[in-house]
């Protein structure tokens, strides 16, 4: 259904285009609202027929999902607004904020469901169930599974954390309604009052879904590390010419889907024509814009590769670092001479959970380098990469 509606109303599969993204977000939001209102009405009818707390809670869970879809749709609309003087990088992060709101709605519904289910466990009763109730619950499971599928599919295509959060909610609803159905079956055929327990299980499942969705939408706002596949793709584009000797200090600034900025350093031979190197950098930036859909800024680091003393210092540093830990790497290596002394400036790459303290690591490298040559004075920056 979504594919057919997209062909009729959107007529484009250019998912990186902000207008197309907004249209897909609006379409998913409208379909989500309509389907959730339908399920709410059917389950409310089933709850009235049975008096089951689990079905009632599941019905209002669908109503909250309709509200979530509305929030998501509004988030897409606001996120598509163009950049202005007050927001020069656009409004793309509003989509993340809408995802956070959806997460809180999920958690609120989980709380109400858990509270009411505990009451039902303390005061159990067998619901009266007719065959129509089973049909409604099974129909709901299939609808929610379908909603999860199209939200996952489109969420991947347009890189939307809000739609991915909605998909997680739909999957949890499939499991939730399945538990409700099983509790109703147990009460009908085995006369076991599991209504409250079923509602409690559903509430806990929805709670974990809300926590997971909250984490997924908050991470981009906090500035999470870029995806390894993205880093690999960037490296392939940047390292396109033999004059690019290396790249480091890559930072990805995420201002919302389709609004990404990159900053990085590339190492180039110091004797090359600077104008030609500048043209090469411009070409790389152009390619990054076209392929990654980003705004890149590249800083050139000239590398001296024909000085015997500097090359010896670099080889000594490589040996010292490998002796400490073969997993350690260094980059941005350059040397400043002050009389007979040599200031060796470089970055060492570790992780946030590395066993050796930063200052201790600096001291170890510095002491071992001076033991090799007293003229060496190390100026070390620690880079954290996980």
- The model's pLDDT over 43-88, given as tens digits with 9 standing for 90+, comes to 999 988 888 877 887 888 888 788 777 777 777 777 777 778 887 7
Q: Do residues 65 and 173 make contact, with C-beta atoms less than 8 angstroms apart?
A: yes
Sort strands 294-303 and 260-269 into parallel, antiparallel or unpaired: parallel
Q: Where does 2-222 sit in CATH, by number? A: 1.20.1510.10
Architecture of the domain spanning 308-384: 2-Layer Sandwich (3.30)
Residue 261 backbone class (left: φ over 0; alpha: ψ -120 to 50; beta: rest): beta
Sort strands 376-384 and 341-350 into parallel, antiparallel or unpaired: parallel
Question: Identical fold at 228-303 and 308-384?
Answer: yes
Strand partners, 118: none
Q: What is the pLDDT of residues 245-256, one digit of tens each?
A: 999 889 888 887
Which residues are CB-contacts of 307 (< 8 A; sequence separation ≥ 6)? 335
pLDDT at 12 over 80: yes
pLDDT at 257 over 80: no
Domain ranges of the chain: 2-222, 228-303, 308-384
Question: Residue holding tokens 């007293």?
Answer: 374
Structure confidence at residue 386 (pLDDT) = 65
Rounded Cα distance, 144 and 71, in Å: 18
Q: What is the pLDDT of residues 309-342, one digit of tens each?
A: 999 999 999 999 999 999 899 988 989 998 889 9
Q: For the chain, what's the residue count?
A: 386
Architecture of the domain spanning 228-303: 2-Layer Sandwich (3.30)
Q: What is the pLDDT of residues 54-63, one digit of tens each?
A: 788 788 888 8
What is the reported pTM?
A: 0.63
Q: Do residues 144 and 26 make contact, with C-beta atoms less than 8 angstroms apart?
A: no
Picking from 218, 222, 226, 275, the residue whose alpha carbon sits closest to that of residue 100 is 218
Q: Do residues 69 and 33 make contact, with C-beta atoms less than 8 angstroms apart?
A: yes
Mean pLDDT on 173-189? 86
């Amino acid at each position: 259904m979504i594919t057919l509606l997209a062909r009729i109303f959107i007529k484009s599969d250019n998912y990186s285009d902000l207008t197309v993204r907004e249209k897909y977000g609006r379409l998913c939001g409208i379909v989500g609202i309509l389907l959730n209102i339908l399920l709410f009405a059917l389950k409310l009818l089933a709850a009235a027929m049975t008096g089951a707390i689990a079905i009632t809670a599941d019905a209002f869970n669908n109503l909250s999902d309709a509200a979530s879809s509305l929030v998501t749709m509004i988030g897409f609309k606001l996120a598509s607004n163009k950049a202005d003087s007050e927001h020069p990088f656009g409004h793309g992060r509003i989509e993340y904020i809408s995802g956070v709101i959806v997460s809180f709605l999920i958690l609120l519904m989980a709380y109400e469901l858990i509270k009411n289910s505990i009451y039902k466990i303390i005061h159990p009763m067998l619901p009266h169930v007719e065959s129509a109730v089973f049909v409604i619950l099974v129909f709901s499971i299939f609808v929610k599974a379908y909603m999860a599928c199209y939200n996952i599919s489109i969420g991947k295509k347009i890189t939307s954390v809000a739609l991915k959060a909605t998909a997680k909610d739909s999957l949890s609803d499939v499991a939730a309604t399945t538990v409700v159905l099983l509790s109703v079956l147990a009460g009908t055929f085995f006369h076991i009052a599991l209504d409250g327990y079923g509602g409690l299980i559903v509430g806990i499942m929805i709670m974990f879904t809300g926590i997971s969705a909250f984490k997924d939408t908050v991470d981009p706002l906090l500035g999470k590390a870029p995806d390894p596949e993205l880093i690999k793709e960037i490296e392939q584009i940047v390292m396109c010419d033999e004059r690019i000797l290396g790249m480091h200090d890559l930072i990805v600034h995420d201002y919302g889907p389709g609004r990404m900025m990159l900053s990085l350093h590339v190492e180039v031979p110091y004797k090359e024509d600077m104008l030609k190197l500048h043209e090469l950098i411009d070409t790389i930036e152009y390619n990054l814009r076209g392929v990654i859909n980003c705004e890149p800024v590249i800083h050139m680091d000239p590398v001296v590769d024909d000085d015997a003393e500097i090359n010896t210092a670099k080889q000594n540093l490589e040996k010292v670092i490998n002796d400490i830990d073969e997993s350690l790497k260094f980059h941005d290596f350059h040397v400043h001479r002050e009389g007979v002394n040599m200031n060796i400036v470089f970055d060492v790459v570790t992780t946030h959970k590395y066993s050796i303290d930063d200052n201790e690591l600096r001291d170890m490298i510095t002491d071992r380098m001076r033991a090799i040559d007293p003229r060496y004075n190390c100026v070390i920056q620690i880079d954290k990469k996980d």
